[in-house]
Structure 1
Amino acid sequence: MFELHIKTRGWIALGISPAGGMTGADIGMGWIDQAGNVHFQDRYAFNFSKPIRDTTTMDWHGLQGREQNGWTAIQFKRLLDTCDSMDVPIKSGTNILIFAYGLMDPNIGQLDDDISYHENRRGSRIIPLQSYSDPPPESKFAEFDSFDFLMNNYLVPPTDTTYYCKVFKLPSHFPMKRHAIAHKIIIDSTNRDLVHHMDTYECHPETTNFDDTNLPEGECDQIVKQIKTCVSNMMTMWSVGADHVSEYVPEAGYPIGGDLPVKYFMVQVHYDNARLLSNRRDSSGIKFYVDSKLRQYDLGYVVFGLSSSAYGIAIPPHVDRFIIDSYCPTNFSKKLLMDLKWTPQLAEQWQQFYNNASRRVIFGGGNIVNQQLLSAIPPYNDLVSESCNRRKAWMKY
Structure 2
Amino acid sequence: MKTTGWIALGISPGGGMKGADIGVGWVDNTGKVYFQDRYASDFALPIIDNTTSNWLAQRGHESDGWTAIQFKRLLDTCDPMDSGTIIVIYAYGLTDPVGDINYHEGRRGSRMIPLQSYANPPPENKFTDLDYFEFRMNNDVVPANDTTYYCKVFKAPIEYPIKRHAIAHKTMIDPNNIDMVHHLVFFACNPTAKFDDNNLPYGVRDDHYQELSACFTGTSTILAVGGETLVEFPEEAGYPVGGDFATKYYMLEIHYNNPKLTPNRRDNTGIRFYIGKQLRQYDIGYMSFGTVVSALALAIPPKVERFIVDSYCPSGFSKVYFGSHVFSSQKSQIIAIKS
Q: TM-score range by the shorter chain?
A: 0.7 to 0.9
Q: Distance in 2 between matches of 1:308 and 1:204?
A: 19
Q: Which residue among 45, 56, 60 is the counterpart of 2:40?
A: 45
Q: Distance in 2 between matches of 1:140 and 1:28?
A: 40
Percentage of pairs with the same residue: 55
Equivalent pair of 2:222/2:330 in contact (CA under 8 Å): no
Q: Give the aligned residue type for 1:360.
A: V
**Aligned match of 1:326:** 299
Q: Which residue among 15, 20, 41 is the counterpart of 1:25?
A: 20
**Aligned match of 2:220:** 235
- Offset from partner CA, 1:222-253 (integer Å, 9 cap, x none): 22333222110111111112121122222221
Q: Which residue among 2, 9, 33 is the counterpart of 2:4?
A: 9
Q: Which residue among 280, 291, 304 is the counterpart of 1:360?
A: 304
Q: Distance in 1 between matches of 2:32 and 2:123?
A: 38
- Offset from partner CA, 1:310-331 (integer Å, 9 cap, x none): 553xxxxxxxxxxxx6259xxx
Shift in Å at residue 9 of structure 1?
0.7
Q: Distance in 2 between matches of 1:209 and 1:90?
A: 47
The residue matched to 1:225 in structure 2 has which SS?
Answer: helix
Q: Distance in 2 between matches of 1:155 and 1:237?
A: 22
**Aligned match of 2:285:** 300
Q: Distance in 2 between matches of 1:186 and 1:359?
A: 40
Q: Which residue among 128, 139, 142 is the counterpart of 1:156?
A: 142
Equivalent pair of 2:186/2:251 in contact (CA under 8 Å): yes
TM-score, normalised with respect to structure 2: 0.85
Equivalent pair of 1:308/1:327 in contact (CA under 8 Å): no
1:230-309 map, 5 Å: 230-309=215-294
**Aligned match of 2:130:** 144
Equivalent pair of 1:82/1:89 in contact (CA under 8 Å): no
Relative distance call for 1:360 and 1:216 in structure 2 (3 A) is closer
Q: Distance in 1 between matches of 2:59 and 2:43?
A: 29
Relative distance call for 1:190 and 1:247 in structure 2 (3 A) is same
Q: Distance in 1 between matches of 2:10 and 2:80?
A: 9
Shift in Å at residue 20 of structure 1?
1.4
Equivalent pair of 2:12/2:81 in contact (CA under 8 Å): no
Q: Distance in 2 between matches of 1:69 and 1:88?
A: 38
**Aligned match of 1:223:** 208
Q: Distance in 1 between matches of 2:221 and 2:135?
A: 12
**Aligned match of 2:118:** 132
Shift in Å at residue 278 of structure 1?
0.4
Shift in Å at residue 268 of structure 1?
0.9
The residue matched to 2:223 in structure 1 has which SS?
Answer: strand
Equivalent pair of 1:80/1:89 in contact (CA under 8 Å): no
- Offset from partner CA, 1:77-135 (integer Å, 9 cap, x none): 1111123xxx555223x21011011112124xx4xxx1122122111111111222122
Q: Distance in 2 between matches of 1:278 and 1:81?
A: 38
TM-score, normalised with respect to structure 1: 0.73
Q: CA RMSD in A?
A: 2.2
Q: Distance in 2 between matches of 1:89 and 1:361?
A: 21
Equivalent pair of 1:16/1:88 in contact (CA under 8 Å): no
Q: Distance in 2 between matches of 1:210 and 1:115?
A: 58
Shift in Å at residue 376 of structure 1?
3.1
Shift in Å at residue 212 of structure 1?
1.8
- Offset from partner CA, 1:320-364 (integer Å, 9 cap, x none): xxxxx6259xxxxxxxxxxxxxxxxxxxxxxxxxxxxx953568x
The reply on whether 1:100 has 2:91 as its aligned counterpart is yes
Equivalent pair of 1:308/1:326 in contact (CA under 8 Å): no
The residue matched to 2:287 in structure 1 has which SS?
Answer: coil
Query: How many pairs align?
Result: 312
- Offset from partner CA, 1:16-72 (integer Å, 9 cap, x none): 011211121111111111111222221111112221222222121112222111111
**Aligned match of 1:35:** 30
Q: Distance in 2 between matches of 1:250 and 1:95?
A: 32
Equivalent pair of 2:170/2:272 in contact (CA under 8 Å): yes
Q: Give the aligned residue type for 1:165.
A: C
More strand by share: 2
Unaligned ranges ≥5, structure 1: 1-5, 313-324, 329-357, 364-374, 379-397
The residue matched to 1:302 in structure 2 has which SS?
Answer: strand
Larger Rg: 1
Q: Distance in 1 between matches of 2:75 and 2:55?
A: 11
